[in-house]
Amino acid sequence: MADVVKEKLALLRTKLDQIPALEQAEAATNVPKEYLVLGGGGIFTLLIFFGVGAGVLCSIVGFVYPAFKSFETIETKTKGDDIQWLVYWVIFAFFSLIETFRDFLLYWIPFYYAFKLAFLLWAMLPQTKGSKFLYDSFLKDFLKKSESRIDAAMAESRKSAEATASELVGATASLVKDDDDKKAD
């Protein structure tokens, strides 16, 4: 058993040798980099499962890498990854919207942040291309069938928002005029 553990740690060390930041961390702390990674991963896992700062960690993990990859996709001429990242951002926004009901989710769904993190990783990682799978399997057909209804709802929402904004501007102008009249008296 001990030999298997040593063998796995040696394999991990060879993979971690390719990361210069870990070399620096190992030199600064005098702790082998494989222990740093395993300890950090363990702490990260505990934080996610017990919910201490899990929302922030999920948001950071769910934002940093995809934002960088989206930037790379924008800067390349090929269109291969566009769908992957556009759908990923729709998924990320969906989670952000759902989390307005955070108390309900955390009460009724145990390990919500662990599941969220696993799902976001599945959706973002190039090995799984989960968001492209979701688009090809579900979203594309649904959106094509519902396109006219979605466009009509968006047009109606736009009209409603314009009417509300117009009323708000009129009411504000009326209040300002009344206030100016009172000051003039």
What's the mean pLDDT in 74-89? 83
Q: Tokens for 56? A: 């922030």
pTM value is 0.61
The count of other CB atoms within 10 Å of the CB of residue 87 is 21
Question: pLDDT tens digits, residue range 95-121?
Answer: 888 878 777 777 787 777 888 888 889
Q: How far apart are CA 117 and CA 61, in angstroms?
A: 8
Q: How far apart are CA 57 and CA 118, in angstroms?
A: 12
Residues 6+ positions from 87 with CB-CB distance below 8 Å:
123, 131, 132, 134, 135, 139
Residues 6+ positions from 98 with CB-CB distance below 8 Å:
105
Answer yes or no: is pLDDT of 157 > 80: yes
Answer yes or no: is pLDDT of 146 > 70: yes
Measured CA distances, 110 to 7, 44, 46, 51, 60 (Å): 36, 17, 14, 10, 21
Write down the H helix ranges in 51-139: 54-75, 82-98, 102-108, 112-124, 130-134
Q: How far apart are CA 139 and CA 122, in angstroms?
A: 17
At 86 the three-state DSSP class reads helix
Query: Residue 44 in contact with residue 24, Cβ under 8 Å?
Result: no
Report which of residues 152 and 25 the model is more confident about.
152
* pLDDT at 185 (0 to 100): 63
What's the mean pLDDT in 27-52? 83
Dihedral (C-alpha) 151, 156, 159, 164: value to the nearest 10 degrees? -130
Question: pLDDT tens digits, residue range 171-185?
Answer: 888 877 776 667 766
DSSP string, 141-182: HHHHHHHHHHHHHHHHHHHHHHHHHHHHHHHHHHHHHHHHHH
* pLDDT at 184 (0 to 100): 66
